[in-house]
Amino acid sequence: MDILAPYLMFLGDVHDQLAAKTATGVVHWRKDDCIGQVRFEDCHADLRLPDMTIAEGAQAGARTLVIGAVNPGGVLPDHWIDAIVEALEAGMDVASGLHQRLTSSSRIVETAERLDRKLFDVRHADGTFPTGKGTKRSGKRLLTVGTDCSVGKMYTSLAIHAEMQKRAMAADFRATGQTGILIVGSGVSIDAVISDFISGATETLSPTADPDHWDVVEGQGSLFHPSFAGVTIGLIHGSQPDALVMCHEPTRTKMRNVEHPIPDLQACIDLHVRAATLTNPDARCIGVAVNTSALDEAAARKCLEDIEKQTGLPTVDPVRTGVVRLVDALS
């Protein structure tokens, strides 16, 4: 996708920092391309970028307004449309990772067409996909999975890919969500694919490769999450992972946006591995990636030690400790 930088990140009035995870991911991995943030009065997220109006962002040179907020259902709130239209009129393109398309708004479409601006609905892939076949294909694949959604699967995947690149390993990052697509410019947002074709879309995303080539496939959801387990299972079967990395946030008591409790970590590992053996009998979990951002240094260190003792697997925090031990475990 030819999404032009610099970016002006739009947060609107999201209710917490996690609701800005798309913007947070883009800023972390492409910080030099992000020049400011647009926040409404009731916004409870902060990217630590300069606060700007749309006009100030345009004056600073922003080429694209990136809708960096997420919400249940991925809807486009009516009260955001004025700002999007203003950005188009100020000379920017607009990119969004929401489920609801920018093109669902006649005002946005009419303005973009009149001014010859581009609209990028990155969550929606053009074209069609086959159904999954489950046929073994060459190459190696690592998939991040989780005890919940929004626990760091994308960050862990990108960090593993970066470590592989440092080692001159043949590897590609395969984005399966809107944030990853905005970061690398390609991929398939798996949760927007019709359910019958999720595994086939994942097979297409991670095709046959040389025997020593790794595809690092970004995970989505969790088999234990009542809202998103269907997405997760198709992604598991389509990716045929040789290696799984379990991602976990240790301070949560219930899953994101539902009342179901966080599952037992070992039970979660076991179920994801068992599901993966349908299309790759040799699938195994090679480590645990823990998001300890809510813990201080001492508590984080103890948490990692306890989980490693419990699971017998290399356990890291990709931010605090890096992912060297996870990549080591692939050999």
pLDDT of residue 1: 74
Same domain, 179 and 263: yes
pLDDT for 72: 77
Structure tokens at 122: 């990155």
228 and 319 housed in the same domain:
yes
Residue 289 inside a domain? The answer is yes
For residue range 310-327, list pLDDT tens digits in order.
999 999 999 999 999 999
Cα 16 from Cα 69, distance rounded (Å): 10
SS3 226: coil
Q: 74 and 206 share a domain? A: no
Q: Would 53 be classed as within a structural domain? A: yes
- Residue 226 and residue 100 share a domain: no
As for how many domains the chain has, the answer is 2
Using CA of residue 212, residue 129, residue 121, residue 61, what is the dihedral sign?
positive
pLDDT value at residue 107: 98
- What are residue 274's DSSP bridge partners? none
Q: What mean pLDDT is predicted for residues 107-132?
A: 94
**Structural domain includes residue 129:** no
Tell me, yes or no, whether 33 and 161 share the same domain: no
Amino acid identity of residue 289, one-letter, is: A
Q: Which of 236, 237, 212, 243 is nearest to 138 (CA)?
A: 212
Same domain, 315 and 175: yes
Query: Tens digits of per-residue pLDDT, 131-168?
Result: 999 999 999 999 999 999 999 999 999 999 999 999 99
Domain ends where: 121, 151, 174?
Answer: 121
50-64, 116-130, 167-181: least confidently modelled range: 116-130
* Distance between CA atoms of residues 7 and 21, nearest Å: 16
Residue 163: alpha-carbon gap to chain centroid: 18
**110 and 150 together in one domain:** no
Asked which of 121, 149, 166 is the last residue of a domain, the reply is: 121
Of the chain, the percentage scoring pLDDT greater than 70 comes to 100
If you search the block for the tokens 């992912």, which residue do you land on?
Answer: 323
- What is the average pLDDT value for the chain, to the nearest integer? 96
pLDDT of 30 over the 90 cut: yes
Whether 26 and 80 map to the same domain: the answer is: yes
- Does residue 14 carry a pLDDT above 90? yes
In a domain, 134, yes or no: no
At 185, which CATH number?
3.40.50.300
What pTM was estimated for this model as a whole?
A: 0.89
Please identify, among 58, 87, 121, the residue that sits at the C-terminal boundary of a domain. 121
How far, in Å, are 49, 67, 156, 176, 247 from residue 9 at the CA level? 9, 6, 23, 21, 27
**Domain-embedded: residue 2:** no
Task: List 94's β-bridge partners, or say none.
Answer: 65, 119
70: in domain: yes
284-290 β-sheet, strand order: 171-174, 214-217, 140-146, 243-248, 284-290, 315-316
| Token pair belonging to 87 | 């950005």
- The confidence band for 73, taking pLDDT boundaries of 50, 70 and 90, is confident
- Predicted confidence at residue 125, as pLDDT, reads 81
Which residues, other chains included, contact 230 with Cβ-Cβ below 8 Å and sequence gap of 6+? Answer: 195, 198
- Which pLDDT band holds residue 2 (cuts at 50, 70, 90)? confident
Dump pLDDT digits (tens) for 75-85: 999 999 999 99
Element containing residue 233 per DSSP (H, E)? helix 229-239
> Are residues 168 and 310 both part of a single domain?
yes
The DSSP secondary-structure symbol of 181 reads H
User: Is 131 among the domain residues?
Assistant: no
In contact, 269 and 145? CB cutoff 8 Å: no
| Domain residue limits at 41 | 7-121
Hey, is 76 helix, strand or coil?
coil
Q: Count CA within 13 A, CB hemisphere, residue 204.
A: 19
For the chain, helix (H) and strand (E) counts, in that order, are 11, 11
Q: Dump pLDDT digits (tens) for 202-259.
A: 999 999 999 999 999 999 999 999 999 999 999 999 999 999 999 999 999 999 889 9
First to last CA, the chain: 34
- Whether 51 shows a pLDDT value over 80: the answer reads yes
77 and 159 assigned to the same domain: no
Average pLDDT over residues 263-285: 98
Report which of 75, 116, 115, 59 is spatially closest to residue 67, judged by C-alpha positions.
75
Q: What is the pLDDT of residue 189?
A: 92
Residue 16: pLDDT above 80? yes
pLDDT for res 299: 98
Pair 87, 218 in one domain: no
In a domain, 231, yes or no: yes
Q: Are residues 112 and 148 in the same domain?
A: no
Q: Which residues lie below 8 Å from residue 170, measured CB to CB, with a gap of 6+?
A: 209, 210, 212, 213, 214
Helix ranges (DSSP H) in the chain: 21-29, 54-59, 81-89, 106-115, 153-166, 178-184, 198-205, 229-239, 265-276, 297-311, 324-328
* Closest-CA residue to 288 (of 309, 274, 271): 309
- CATH number for 12: 3.40.50.720
Side-chain half-sphere exposure of 132, counting CA atoms within 13 A:
26
